[in-house]
Amino acid sequence: MPTSNKKILVTGADGFIGSHLTEHLVRAGYDVRAFVLYNSFNAWGWLDRASAEIRDALDVFAGDVRDPNGVRQAVQGCDIVLHLAALIAIPYSYHSPDTYVDTNIKGTLHVVQAARESGARVVHTSTSEVYGTARTVPIAEDHPLQAQSPYSASKIGADQIALSFHHAFGTPVSVLRPFNTYGPRQSARAVIPSIVTQIAAGRRSIKLGALHPTRDFNFVADTVRAFEAVMNSDAAIGQVLNAGSGFEVSIGDTVKLIAETMGVDVRIETDPARLRPATSEVERLVADASRLRTLTGWVPEYGGPDGLRRGIEQTVRWFAAPANLAAYKTDIYNI
């Protein structure tokens, strides 16, 4: 349980990881303000599906991180900001890069500016994509940063903005860098839900992009616990911290595991629309998360081949439920 009654702001609380994190923090007894993207329907994204107990406990703020005035208002009265709001789809970043600069870089600037003014602590969300294709493995935090897509470039910029406020102004900032989070509620633009939803919809010939790249998949519960560990660790202030299982698996082998879990045989069709430009594809990712373990005590509960299998099983059960599958457009490619 929390040792204090500090108030926590979660930006991007309506999204995949953000909704899981928000629910976890409420259940753990934290006082949570959920920053959701304003819309005229007053929709709270995945939080609309949370239990009444969770929703009733939330202080919901509808706004947009691209607006500095709204961000300043949202941060006011909060002790900790867990900043997850971002545009994350790599294919969409190829044709709409301006929106990634505005949301990811300027949005982060607005968060750390507001935190500097209010005295709040910030845990900023990065991504393993900032490393590009691994030059050395496992990838530690001092690995060179390589922007292989407009998305990854925007996240490199956002990370550096956040860290600059720590170095220049003493704003207490930590950068958490999760590797390939997956689980219930994830967008079908990501590879695991794309595979699962196509199979759950009855297809036995599924469309995918490249099968040879490797990833370090992390179940969303582990990523959520990493956020909580970092926000409660003074030693993490000023640090960049990888959150990853250290288990490397190819996309092709991931397809086999999912098909086995769902009890089907599948054929794979290469869909050119799902292929990244050759030098934009990140070929290999596997994390060295020893710094996070050392500074916070965090360890993945879904690490290794057994952990991946357990995480895939939970993910499949969620997506296969008709009410959940109905929320996805399984007949189109989600970018």
pLDDT tens digits, one per residue of 261-299: 999 999 999 999 999 999 999 999 999 999 999 999 999
Identify whether 332 is part of a domain: no
Strand partners, 250: 214
Identify whether 278 is part of a domain: yes
Identify whether 310 is part of a domain: yes
The range of the structural domain enclosing residue 25 comes to: 7-325
pLDDT confidence tier of residue 4, bands split at 50, 70 and 90: low
pLDDT confidence tier of residue 25, bands split at 50, 70 and 90: very high
The overall pTM is greater than 0.85: yes
DSSP assignment of 68-85 equals HHHHHHHHTT-SEEEE--
Identify whether 331 is part of a domain: no
Give the torsion sign (CA, 68, 88, 45, 122): negative
The per-residue pLDDT for range 56-110, each reduced to its tens digit, is 999 999 999 999 999 999 999 999 999 999 999 999 999 999 999 999 999 999 9
The per-residue pLDDT for range 27-61, each reduced to its tens digit, is 999 999 999 999 999 999 999 999 999 999 999 99
Identify whether 330 is part of a domain: no
Average pLDDT value for the chain: 97
Identify whether 334 is part of a domain: no
Say how many CA atoms lie within 13 Å of 307 toward its Cβ.
20
**Where in the chain does DSSP place strands (E)?**
7-11, 31-37, 59-63, 80-83, 121-125, 173-178, 181-182, 205-208, 214-215, 218-219, 240-243, 249-250, 267-270
Q: What integer pLDDT is reported at residue 331 of this predicted model?
A: 87
Domain tally, the chain: 1
What's the CATH code of the domain at 266?
3.40.50.720
The per-residue pLDDT for range 243-263, each reduced to its tens digit, is 999 999 999 999 999 999 999
In Å, what is the CA distance from 55 to each residue of 42, 60, 78? 13, 9, 19
Identify whether 1 is part of a domain: no
| 3-class DSSP state of 112 | helix
Q: What integer pLDDT is reported at residue 1 of this predicted model?
A: 45
Alpha carbon dihedral 191, 88, 282, 174, in 10-degree steps, equals: -120
